[in-house]
Chains A and B, each alone.
Chain A
Amino acid sequence: MKRVAITGVGAVSPAGLDAVSTWQGVRDGISAIAPLDCPRADRLNVTIAAQVRDFNAADLLPPKRAAMMDRFSQFAVVAAREALAQSGLDRAHPAVQQAAVIVGIGVGGLITLDDAFFNLYGLDKPRSHPLTIPKLMCNAAPSQVSMDLGAHGITFAVASACASGTHAIGTAAQLIRSGASPVVFAGGSEACITAGTLHGWEALRVLAPDTCRPFSRNRAGLVLGEGSGMMVLEDWDHAQARGATILAEVLGFGANADAGDLTSPDPEGARAAMDLALRDACLSPHQIGYINAHGTGTAMNDRVESDAIRALFGADPPPVSSSKAVLGHGLGAAGALEAVVTVMALANQIIPPTANCIEPDTDLGIDMVPEGPRNAEFTAAISNSFAFGGLNAVLALGRT
């Protein structure tokens, strides 16, 4: 079985338009949650979101190409370009030309859909734009990445709600391990902050009115986010042979289904997914130095995830932090952005904090790193994603 190197990362997030600024925002605990800015926001009760600011696709991509994409595809292509540049590969390399592309998408082009339906049913316009369907389909993001980079390998979207990005990277790692693809572009993307989407989230009664405070006694729920995280995963020997800088290693992947409730997570399912990832990585719990939590900031997730962590790691688990107080909940992008954060944490030997955790809920029995970034020596970490539908996915990542 081949080892899986990560040789490039890219990000577009509420904290910044590249991986470094995204990492810096999470590391320094600077929340990117801000007043909501979207059409028809006056119809909503919610007034905040973690949105990508100052993203002008026409400045970052060829304008004609950018115009063919919904925002979630634009994010993915920009992040994939950054990851490719860092990897040192270029479009002419045979491994890029044969590369696979796997992108996790929670819901797809809802900005395009929301606008199209508003025009039809709200404004009584008689027709929709001809690019409506090609822009909104979930596979538009991986397809646009493949078109932009000239990658001709197997290309598809993974849809597992909030775990999509983690499933995408885990699936990509399996392609590398098997030898099927020496290079895979993998990650997640989402841009669904629309009035229609937020109405649906409001009805679930889980949105915070002010901000996201994971693992804090005064938690009030989640805040919706958006963005994209993309990585270049590469056959370890292939990367070494060309003298690439290896940022981190995908050591293991664990995924399962609760096969229970549609929206209430099961602590045993979450525990088992982490256990699967560790076993896949041939690691013992004591070898994990950091857990990047799913950490949505809901009462349910705080309790279930901390219970699951203690069930696997015992009474004194490794430090746990959530990036969602900074980045919001990016749904299909979340797992990928958090994997990028975890790679940066390993590379910099810094455990990022849980921002906004101003009243640490000590009843949870975890060290949620509330005080700020923490220097630490650690060689392996896991990144958790637990999705609606009872779909759990966990990546085990290692320092190089």
Chain B
Amino acid sequence: MTTLETIIPIVAKQLGLNPADIGANTNLEEAGYESLDVIETIFALEEEFGIDINFNANTQDTGSLATVGDLAAIIDETLAKQGKA
């Protein structure tokens, strides 16, 4: 299963949407993400993949986590850095 396939159900659960309606290009904010949704999702992804994602809400460029595909990218990057890829 690809990273994207793993995270889609997690994002769908956070949004209360059907996983079939979510893809790499889904924009999180447009799909309904509010203030705590991003950090709740990151927590869920850290639990799922057994990683620590380096995310600070104060220094992160908000545009860098705009889509579901961006989430997949940051996970792959973190897995590679932490030697779990």
Q: Interface of A with B (CB < 8 Å)?
A: 45, 203-209, 219-221, 261-264, 297-300
A203 touches B39 (CB 8 A): yes
Given contacts A206-B58, A262-B36, 19 further A-B contacts (CB under 8 A): A205-B39, A205-B55, A205-B56, A205-B57, A206-B56, A208-B58, A209-B56, A221-B58, A221-B59, A261-B35, A262-B35, A263-B35, A263-B36, A264-B35, A297-B58, A298-B57, A298-B58, A299-B57, A299-B58
Please indicate the chain B residues that have their CB under 8 angstroms from the CB of A299 in the complex.
57-59
Minimum C-beta distance from B71 to chain A (A) = 14
B39 touches A220 (CB 8 A): no
Please indicate the chain B residues that have their CB under 8 angstroms from the CB of A208 in the complex.
58
Minimum C-beta distance from A27 to chain B (A) = 26
Please count how many residues in chain B sit with their CB below 8 Å of the partner chain's CB atoms: 12
A88 to B16 CA separation, bound complex (whole angstroms): 61
Given contacts A203-B43, A205-B42, contact A220 B58 (CB under 8 A): yes
Minimum C-beta distance from B53 to chain A (A) = 9
Closest B residue to A302 by beta carbon equals B58
Closest B residue to A222 by beta carbon equals B58
Please indicate the chain B residues that have their CB under 8 angstroms from the CB of A261 in the complex.
34-35
A219 to B60 CA separation, bound complex (whole angstroms): 11
**In terms of DSSP, what is the predominant structure of the interface of chain A?**
loop
Please indicate the chain B residues that have their CB under 8 angstroms from the CB of A300 in the complex.
57-58
Please indicate the chain A residues that have their CB under 8 angstroms from the CB of B52 in the complex.
45
A300 to B58 CA separation, bound complex (whole angstroms): 7
Closest A residue to B46 by beta carbon equals A203
Minimum C-beta distance from A362 to chain B (A) = 18
Minimum C-beta distance from A92 to chain B (A) = 51
A-B contact pairs, 11 of them (CB 8 A): A203-B43, A204-B57, A205-B42, A220-B58, A220-B59, A221-B57, A221-B58, A261-B35, A262-B36, A264-B34, A297-B58
Please indicate the chain B residues that have their CB under 8 angstroms from the CB of A205 in the complex.
39, 42, 55-57
A203 to B42 CA separation, bound complex (whole angstroms): 9
Interface centre among B52, B56, B57, B58 (most CB of A within 10 A): B58
A56 to B53 CA separation, bound complex (whole angstroms): 39
